Structure 1
Amino acid sequence: MRNCNLDYSTITNCDPIQVQQGPEQANGPCQIRWRPRPIKICPSLDRTSGILKANKEAGHILGHRFAVLAAMGSSGAFPTLDSLHFPSAQTSISQTLASLRRSALSVSNRLQSIEIDAEFVREVADHYGLPLVANERCGSWYIDPTVKAGSAYFKSTDGHTGQWDFSFRRLNLQLLPLANQYGGCVIVDSTRRGKLMPDALSKTVPIWCAVLNRALFPEQEEYHCVNLPPNYLGESEESQIASRIDGFVHSLQSLKLDLTHLRQQLGKPMQVAWANRSYIHPPDLPPNNNSHLLVLCSASRRVQGAEMSEGGYIQGAGDDSEAWAHGLTPPVFWANREILKQAAEEDLPGVIADLVAEYKRQNTVHQATLIAPTRNLYVSQTDVRVDVGTQYDLVIDCNGDPSTTEGNPGRLNLGCASAKLGSRDLRKSLSRVREFIAAQLGSDSSRTLLVTCETGKDLSAGALLAIICLFYAEDGSFDVSQSKRSMSKQFIRQRLAWIVSSKHDVNPSRSTLQSVNAFLMEPPDY
């Protein structure tokens, strides 16, 4: 049986009523009569502009038409269904564009783009002669760990229009001694398509610098203004930001941090400069022995159009790595660049999984951090090798299985889930934490306590915050009578500053802090 080439734009608006084919026509074309039916015409496949509009209606029509054709084809005198052209089997324009975009945003293209941007970052560091600091988490992708001097935690959300803020969860005080030692630093970040720089670099860091300059160096008014990138923000936004700085300074002072000590750590006020692919500002910066320089470097080239037009280059390729990296981290990437380059795109997920697993096997030591001014409270990422009674007298594991602590009075596992569910679980578990601390440290306050969670940054910080508020005095000493004092948000914020200034990468989520606040501020049951 022969195939008939039929234009579906014709048969979709007609009904077949008769097939004429005699013996003398056995080798000739099929002859089909069609009865017109009053329906809307579905455009031919070559009229691509009409496909999206008519696609749904054409699908219903073709389903009916080809059911009839299939029945007629059982006689063997009619074309098979396989020989006919189904529009549903064809890739639409939107599907094609989506496929092309996914291809342009492939893992290999991202890693190649990161290497290109990292070269620019190195050039900026060499130009200024300053060490590189990654604004986590995106910034670490663009810095070889062997030359990375530190990390910062400035969020773009603190610089969003109308939401300008000086975050007390992200004080970034670890930058003060670093800037004093080297005369400044280059803070590296990036942003995705369409923007010249992230809000973290255009607004959040300048706000932070202005607040600290005013709080630590009140007499040096020439450094009190908030410096913003030139010709980047509107006058109204610049004015509104400037009007909030004094309020942020007052809030910082209310934390009761040792500002004299912080001033000694920093040594001099800070000024900012910007480096990106479009410009360096100020272009001619004279040497200044009276201040430290923070260069805010946006690593990626600005892309105006779609990634498909950039030959594989992706602006801000390191951003939102949870969505594309398959578990790959900057240290694993930088240690295995050649292996990753040689792997085919379809093999990368498996290759990455193997590299990450090997890295974890070789780097399983989690260093605990002492929370000052206490002398016995530590926080860390969960480490199954930590044994109660050897390194630490007491351990609270926020994510640990409670059933595994039977017969071990020095260990408390809370069994919290991950993410937001874990924050709610923590709220329900804090009464157990209070009882555990009262019993264990109440009898011997010199015991050391390690609090852990999966990340060492969220739930563990929340549990520690509750412990500090309930049991620790202003000088960092244990005092069980503190548990009966009334709590306020301001007091809780002051104690949170102990944790944030001791462990710089700690980042308790909003839901975790809300759970702790709700527990501490509820009326006592005595």
Structure 2
Amino acid sequence: MPLLESDLIFSSAASDLKNALGELKRSNLSITNRLRSIKQDADVVLSVSEVYNLPLIANERCGSWCIPSDRKTGSAYFKSTDGHFGQWSFSLRRLNLQVLSIVEQHGGCIIVDSTRRGKSMPDALSKTVPIWIAVLNRLLFPEHPESHALRTPAEVVSQSEHSQIESRFPLFLEGLRDLDVDVDGLRSTLTKPMRPVWVTPGGTLDTSLLGESGGFCPIILVTSSNCESAGSHNVTKYVQGAADDHESWALGLDPAMFWANMQQLLNTPESELPSLISKLVVEAQAASRMRIPTLVRPSTTIWIADNEAAEDLYRDFDIMVHCSAVSSANLASKLKIRYVHLACSSGKNGSRQLRKELEKLSTLRDMLFPMSKVLVTCETGRDLAVGAALAILCSLYSSDGTLDIHSTVAMSKGLIKHRLSWIMVSMPDASPSRATLQSVNAHLMS
């Protein structure tokens, strides 16, 4: 007779084993193990920093978890997706030009990131940053062809993939030039080409760079997470890329809170961590400071901030564009017609609502004068406010950043990208969602 499922004598044991392994995996991914793994990753970063004596720059978001707050010099926003196979790109939204001044001042920098289990380094460090370096070297240093070649880690990127990436460089460079960035200004910011160098836990540090980097600025790309430790995580309880996707496990804890309370968090039992973290989050929110308005250059009159700044600083501005779910009675009474409320909730719904609300910006045409200071705000100062400011810059301002309400603008995707680059260079941590930008494009191109 054929063997029946009921004849399997180990079926219940196999199910029990599967459940036990699942529970073991969940326990290893506990908040305690994640935080301890982050501290272990940070120790790697600090040891590299001691050797190279260069400033630490976090590739957001994971990078900030792996750098003690008092050691972090700045932030960068290099996406791993721009290095994914077949999707290689030089981001025209995230130019990361704020990194250049740090590199020039210190002769180089260390960019920190981590990656999940199964990879030795994130695509952001193996491909996205190397693309960025090679493209900028080509733009800023045409007289140094030796710096134009793409450099990637041979143990991670195959020769075939390397060649395919490099074949796209003419398009990358053309897109960057189309933004009409201030090349002369950038050349005064960075006076030597950049060169990537990769560091992973347990790897050998190339100290020869310390004495031979006179012709270029080394960009040390540090992967803080250890893939070898992760391979035995059932024993070590180490979580590779522990900071990744922190919204799903951190309960509102962020890097600044972690480093300010690191010892207390690491010494608190797992069962007590949720209540401790909740307490720290409430305290941090109570002590949070408003986002200081940022001027979007080359304009001299368009500023971006958060809604808290709107309530406190409205007297410093002539016109307020306020993205919020509910209108501010205070601002409406004080500013009257100079208060433009765009009724948008937070998240994706707010981004979708923005498309219709942007029609209200047409009233600005009758209110603006060349020196009118406009403050555009939203809850965070990084998403909806960026979209609203982008719409204003595209429809009412000329290519040199001056008010131009009389000319008819020939709207195009190129013009929108160009104005967006103004915002991203002026405000590197701006983070307009795809839905927000789609709403702006739909409004402007309709």
Give the TM bin, normalised by the shorter chain.
over 0.9
Whole-Å separation in 2 of the counterparts to 1:503 and 1:479? 23
Whole-Å separation in 2 of the counterparts to 1:389 and 1:193? 48
Superposed CA deviations along residues 35-81 of structure 1, whole A, max 9, x for unmatched, are: xxxx974666xx356654xxxxxxxxxxxxxxxxxxxxxxxxxxxxx
Q: Sort the Cα spacing of 1:217 and 1:172 in 2 relative to 1 into closer, same or farther, 3 A.
A: same
Q: Sort the Cα spacing of 1:50 and 1:355 in 2 relative to 1 into closer, same or farther, 3 A.
A: closer
Shift of 1:403: 6.8
SS in 2 for 1:414: strand
Q: Sort the Cα spacing of 1:487 and 1:201 in 2 relative to 1 into closer, same or farther, 3 A.
A: same
Whole-Å separation in 1 of the counterparts to 2:410 and 2:85? 36
Shift of 1:230: 2.5
Asked if residue 235 in structure 1 is aligned to residue 159 in structure 2, the reply is: yes
The structure where helix makes up a greater share of residues is: 2
Is this contact kept in 2: 1:388–1:395, CA < 8 A?
no
SS in 2 for 1:508: coil
Whole-Å separation in 2 of the counterparts to 1:455 and 1:193? 32
Partner in structure 2 of residue 429 of structure 1 = 357
Partner in structure 1 of residue 323 of structure 2 = 398
Asked if residue 371 in structure 1 is aligned to residue 296 in structure 2, the reply is: yes
Aligned equivalent of 2:345, options 417, 423, 442: 417
Shift of 1:381: 2.5
Asked if residue 100 in structure 1 is aligned to residue 35 in structure 2, the reply is: no
Partner in structure 1 of residue 384 of structure 2 = 459
CA RMSD of aligned residues (A): 2.0
Shift of 1:335: 0.5
Letter in 1 for 2:289: T
Is this contact kept in 2: 1:133–1:186, CA < 8 A?
yes
Superposed CA deviations along residues 186-235 of structure 1, whole A, max 9, x for unmatched, are: 00000010100000000000000000000011111010001001232111
Shift of 1:415: 2.2
Is this contact kept in 1: 2:45–2:224, CA < 8 A?
yes
Q: Sort the Cα spacing of 1:40 and 1:97 in 2 relative to 1 into closer, same or farther, 3 A.
A: closer
Superposed CA deviations along residues 354-411 of structure 1, whole A, max 9, x for unmatched, are: 1122122223231111000111111122216624642322222212413736543232
Aligned equivalent of 1:438, options 347, 365, 377: 365
Whole-Å separation in 2 of the counterparts to 1:127 and 1:303? 22
Shift of 1:417: 2.1
Whole-Å separation in 2 of the counterparts to 1:355 and 1:165? 39
Asked if residue 358 in structure 1 is aligned to residue 283 in structure 2, the reply is: yes
Whole-Å separation in 2 of the counterparts to 1:49 and 1:356? 44
Identical pairs, percent: 44
Shift of 1:334: 0.4
Letter in 1 for 2:366: A
Whole-Å separation in 1 of the counterparts to 2:83 and 2:71? 28
Shift of 1:503: 0.3
Partner in structure 1 of residue 409 of structure 2 = 485
Unaligned runs of 5+ in 1: 1-38, 53-91
SS in 2 for 1:191: coil
Whole-Å separation in 2 of the counterparts to 1:427 and 1:347? 44
Is this contact kept in 2: 1:125–1:132, CA < 8 A?
yes
Partner in structure 2 of residue 30 of structure 1 = none
Partner in structure 1 of residue 213 of structure 2 = 288
Q: Sort the Cα spacing of 1:353 and 1:40 in 2 relative to 1 into closer, same or farther, 3 A.
A: closer
TM-score by length of 1: 0.80
SS in 1 for 2:298: coil
Letter in 2 for 1:111: L
Whole-Å separation in 2 of the counterparts to 1:310 and 1:165? 39
Shift of 1:447: 2.3
